[in-house]
A and B are shown apart, each in its own frame.
Chain A
Amino acid sequence: MIRLNDVTKIYKGETRAIDGVSLNIDKGEFVFLVGESGSGKSTMLRLVTAEEPATAGQVHVAGKDLSRINSWRVPYLRRNIGSVFQDFKLLPQKTVYENVAFALEVIGRPKNIVTTQVPAILELVGLSHKQKSFPDELSGGEQQRVSIARAFVNRPLILLADEPTGNLDPNTAQEIMRLLDRINRTGTTVVMATHDQTIVDQMRRRVVALRAGQVVRDEQQGVYG
């Protein structure tokens, strides 16, 4: 599903954010990317969404070589990838329902799809009763669940999460992990960059550890460090 082949990413000619990484993530896997700040986790996610081009090597996502893909096809690639962030990136002037519906509307999905899919996904993340609330009326955990609903409403093949529990207390973080686990069980590949040792140790999934842009450890059912 995601394959990195000797990938290097150099920012502004000096900083080596990713340094010769080769990595293979299969369909349906759940992978934690761990490592200190600046170890290259976020850059790796940005390479997968084609927000950044690789300086050297190939990034394959859902069978496409991103170095050869036409720039106008990038949006279609991104429809296969849902993204979740530490800061949620919700639109404050839109309600919960509108935030989620927005993701479908802007890729031109017809209205009848929107009106059936959005309530279903809000049900899945347990926020049916908050459809009409605005983001600033919700707790951090609820906001992150909205953001996951938005990322997943189009049923992407891949879900990328960059520190999704970074702003949340431990109990709320557990909730979010249960949700991501459920999404993974539907066959969606989940890649999550995190600092959260408790969660990684508890979930016992594949762990890829990065240091200074290189993979220093890759274990099935691994722990944080």
Chain B
Amino acid sequence: MRGFVGRAAYFARETWINVRRNLTLTVAAILTVAVGVMLVGLGLMARYASANALGRWQGGVQFEIFLEPNIAGGQIDALGQELRNHPDIERIQFITQDQAFSLLEDMLSDEPELLAEISVESLPPSYRVVPRDAEGELIESLAAQFRERPGVYSVETGRQQVDAIREWFNSFRWIVLLMSIVLAAASAMLIFNMIRVAMFARRREIEVMKLVGATNSFIRLPFILEGMLHGLAGGLVGAAAAGVLRNHVEELFGRSEILAFFRSFTVTSGQFTTATLATVLMGVIVGALGSAFAAGRFLDV
């Protein structure tokens, strides 16, 4: 037990000496790790957020039949009757041109100039339709049935939006993943170099250690710990940055009417914890890999 404590003290002391020796390089490596793993964290949170939002829409999805602005009153009623009697439709809601305008007024409250260009008469009235079953196929076939009716301007299904958003989020995730791989590789290489410099600075000690019969793992361990420490520091900074960004973005979604649509893109606290832990862990792994490679490669003195 005393041997173990002594050894732990030895490793802690040696690691700390190494960290202090290269402060600028240390900071550079930590920041690179931080940015890299922050992207990993954000990518993970974006994934959770899109899954959460899509799940919600897929549960209670509706679609909207937009009518020609100049449609005759009789046509509106006839269409409404047909929708109400349709076996696959649960309920409908009619949105008049006035109501459509007031919705738009809400959305464009920040931009009155834009609103001034739009007249009530130019807006399409619409039916919001909630089908009995929120199945994508059913919604699509219902939409197709009504799309070609006289007086119908267009039919917007939630599915199209969901697909568009899913696609957008998928490509966002890929970009983030790619960037984080590049940054993770860059930070591993920085740590690799840092450990190489540290080992070079201590080559006399390493030579003596080998001479008196210290095992390779004993010689390597302080250097690997040093790399992991940098990775951990970078991971913590990156996770904190991702957390701050997440709050900022959610606040932005909450405040801006234009981005109101994104309000359903939220991350639960459990998911946030998972993403944070993954972010920190990623940093430690990057640090361990970079330093383990260096320690393995430059031990022959």
Residues of A within 8 A of B (CB): 49, 72, 75-83, 89, 91, 102-103, 105-112, 150-151, 154
How far is it, in angstroms, between the C-alpha of A72 and the C-alpha of B205 when the chains are bound?
19
A75 pairs with B208, CB closer than 8 A: no
**A107 — which chain B residues lie within 8 A by C-beta?**
212-215, 218
B214 pairs with A75, CB closer than 8 A: yes
Size bracket, chain B contacts: 10 to 19
Would you call B209 an interface residue if the criterion is a C-beta within 8 Å of the partner chain's C-beta atoms? yes
**A91 — which chain B residues lie within 8 A by C-beta?**
204-205, 208
B2 pairs with A89, CB closer than 8 A: no
* Nearest CB in chain B to that of A79: its residue: B213
Q: Chain A interface: which of B3-11, B178-186, B273-281?
A: B3-11
Would you call B210 an interface residue if the criterion is a C-beta within 8 Å of the partner chain's C-beta atoms? yes
**A154 — which chain B residues lie within 8 A by C-beta?**
212-213
B209 pairs with A106, CB closer than 8 A: yes
Question: How far apart are B121's CB and chain A's nearest CB, in angstroms?
Answer: 86
B208 pairs with A78, CB closer than 8 A: no
Residue from the list A78, A105, A111 in contact with B211, Cβ < 8 A: A78
A72 pairs with B210, CB closer than 8 A: no
Tell me the interface secondary structure of chain B in the complex.
helix
How far is it, in angstroms, between the C-alpha of A105 and the C-alpha of B214 when the chains are bound?
9
**A111 — which chain B residues lie within 8 A by C-beta?**
2-3, 6
* Nearest CB in chain A to that of B301: its residue: A51
How far is it, in angstroms, between the C-alpha of A107 and the C-alpha of B218 when the chains are bound?
8
How far is it, in angstroms, between the C-alpha of A144 and the C-alpha of B10 when the chains are bound?
26
Residues 168 to 222 of chain B near chain A (Cβ within 8 Å): 204-205, 207-216, 218-219
Residue from the list A75, A89, A108, A112 in contact with B7, Cβ < 8 A: A108
How far is it, in angstroms, between the C-alpha of A82 and the C-alpha of B216 when the chains are bound?
18
Q: With A108-B7, A112-B2 in contact, do A150 and B212 touch (Cβ < 8 Å)? A: yes
Question: How far apart are B223's CB and chain A's nearest CB, in angstroms?
Answer: 14
B214 pairs with A110, CB closer than 8 A: no
How far is it, in angstroms, between the C-alpha of A151 and the C-alpha of B213 when the chains are bound?
11
**A78 — which chain B residues lie within 8 A by C-beta?**
210-213
6 example contacts (A-B, Cβ-Cβ < 8 A) are as follows A75-B216, A78-B213, A105-B6, A105-B10, A107-B213, A111-B6
Q: With A75-B210, A78-B210, A91-B208 in contact, do A110 and B6 touch (Cβ < 8 Å)? A: yes
* Nearest CB in chain B to that of A147: its residue: B208
* Nearest CB in chain A to that of B204: its residue: A91
How far is it, in angstroms, between the C-alpha of A111 and the C-alpha of B2 when the chains are bound?
7
How far is it, in angstroms, between the C-alpha of A150 and the C-alpha of B213 when the chains are bound?
12
What would 4 more interface pairs be, CB under 8 Å, given A78-B213, A106-B209, A107-B218?
A77-B213, A78-B211, A102-B205, A151-B212
B210 pairs with A89, CB closer than 8 A: no
How far is it, in angstroms, between the C-alpha of A73 and the C-alpha of B209 when the chains are bound?
15
Q: With A83-B211, A89-B208, A91-B205 in contact, do A72 and B2 touch (Cβ < 8 Å)? A: no
Q: With A89-B204, A91-B205 in contact, do A106 and B3 touch (Cβ < 8 Å)? A: no
Question: How far apart are A95's CB and chain B's nearest CB, in angstroms?
Answer: 14
Q: With A72-B215, A72-B216, A75-B215 in contact, do A102 and B208 touch (Cβ < 8 Å)? A: yes
